[in-house]
A = this chain, B = another copy of it.
């Protein structure tokens, strides 16, 4: 395994911990933006309790010369806003961790640089500026650009008035100088190269990428019921509903949400819902409705640990099976599980096109870790996407379920053309009316299920990272993309590659071939059962030799994962 100190030169991991309501979010927000504008690659992710105030939460910020968008266990710099943060993060504090804060208040025996943020803040006008001092300090230690910091603070606090701005600038400066001094004193050993082009990068979270992909995909209707972590998409589309012409409705429950969306889609509006496992369970009958009526529907399912309420603000990948088999009866579906924010944008966009093209429900399967993480990226790929138009103008002979060669019946909507659009949740005739006739039933089942063939041919292939002639293949899906990639990269072995699936169903055509080529296969999943490994086995017959599973509600950490992979690689 690669030398950790060596890594450290290229990137630093900062963790800020404290109670909900203490301002961790603000620190993260400002710091990542200022560092990015200063030319550093940044990555941030958070973990938090299911409560509004108190408790102990933390945010992890990685700053590097290159993109390092993966969760890690190690903490280089820890900024605890209260002593609870030290208890909360105890397991992750090592001898290499530098704790920054008021030593006396923190009462820690670890490596601690005594920086009296509160006292320094008082100078600037009050304790309330302590967080800004900390921001300044971190910028100083990392050699961020002070002018950029100051400008950003002006932008950020602008509407609060000049005095507030001035005090924040002062507090930041105090911190910045202290950070610089510590750096000069040689207490830290980073040397992170700046890349001026990063300044123009985007900072987009997984949740924003899904939301923007939806807007880009022509989403005109979202109806949902709040549920973490799915709510973020509803919130985003609501906030921008006027700008982009979207109906964003909070339904009375998830059942109403999915049925409203199906109704809107029937009437021609590209429609979606967003939810999490428990809410989705309630939508399943509606998904089955979309299935038999062949009404396009995009479902964003943000996973969190179950069963039932489970751990409401944590992460897990345990609802793949749920999405895969949701709804009674049999009908085709597509499931995307993006691994990178860019994928989330492109695949959510694509979800709307595919839903319309094949008239099927399409899932975008994410999780809390993915939605709440973000990193610097040059583009979302929004130039490469365009919206297909699959709605036809009907004439009087129109039949909604006309049997065609490829199983796709031209889709009309009420009020566009002279035809009538009849849609039915029962088995139905070509005209869309209820039937129990055997021949029609068989024809309609064959038509619907037959679409899977075309969908397969229209697959998003898995992404292979590493050498083509791998001996060991580490397989992942969804939010694990970067974590697995970094883990394998840390190992610096030329016989280990990673294969990441962002289309998890149907499995892309070349899946079996790619898996068969490996001598040793390791499937990495954030769940108990190894659901993706089972899916691979059920559909390709391939049994993964090894599975690395984690189901404690936390994402993998790349360096810990690297060790587990190495162990398997060495033994096999």
Contact B327 A427 (CB under 8 A): no
Q: Which of A311, A319, A424, A543 has the most CB of B within 10 A?
A: A311
Chain A contacts with B in 272-316, Cβ cutoff 8 A: 276-278, 280-282, 284-285, 288-289, 291-293, 305-314, 316
Known: A281-B288, A282-B255, A551-B442. A325 touches B327 (CB 8 A): no
A553 / chain B contacts, CB cutoff of 8 Å: 427, 436, 438, 441
User: What are the residues of chain B within 8 A of A327 when measuring CB–CB?
Assistant: 281, 306-307, 322
The yes or no answer to A50 lying at the interface (CB within 8 A) is yes
Shortest A410–chain B CB gap in Å is 21
Q: Given the complex of chains A and B, what is the CA–CA distance between A289 and B281 in angstroms?
A: 11
A449 at the interface (CB under 8 A from B): yes
- Bitwise interface map of A from 419 to 436 toward B, beta carbon under 8 Å scored 1, else 0: 000001111000000001
Query: Is the pair B528, A280 in contact by a Cβ cutoff of 8 Å?
Result: no
Residue in B285, B313, B427 whose beta carbon sits within 8 Å of that of A281 in the complex? B285
Name the segment of A63-71, A182-190, A263-271, A328-336 touching the other chain: A328-336
Q: Which of B285, B325, B330, B535 contacts A278 (CB 8 A)?
A: B285
**Which listed residue, B307, B312, B529, touches A328 by the CB 8 Å rule?**
B307
Q: How many copies does the complex hold?
A: 2
| A458 touches B (CB below 8 Å) | no
Contact call A308/B425, Cβ cutoff below 8 A: yes
Is A308 a contact partner of B281 (Cβ separation < 8 A)? no
Contact of A161 with B by CB under 8 A: no
Whole-angstrom distance between the alpha carbons of A330 and B316 in the complex?
A: 11
Chain A residues in contact with chain B, CB under 8 A? 49-50, 255, 276-278, 280-282, 284-285, 288-289, 291-293, 305-314, 316, 318-319, 321-322, 324-331, 424-427, 436, 438, 441-442, 445, 449, 527-529, 534-535, 537-539, 541, 543, 551-554
* With A278-B328, A285-B278 as contacts: A442 and B310 at CB distance below 8 Å: no
Q: How far is the CA of A318 from the CA of B541 in the complex (A)?
A: 22
- Give the docked Cα–Cα distance between A535 and B325 (Å): 12
Q: Could you say which residues of chain B place their CB within 8 Å of the CB of A426? A: 308-312
Which chain B residue shows the least CB distance to A48? B436
User: What residue of chain B has the Cβ atom nearest to residue A426's Cβ?
Assistant: B309
The distance from the CB of A532 to the nearest CB of chain B, in whole angstroms, is: 11
User: Given the complex, which residues of B lie within 8 Å of A314, measured CB to CB?
Assistant: 436
Which residue on B lies nearest to A550, using beta carbons?
B442
A552 and B438 form a contact (CB under 8 A): yes
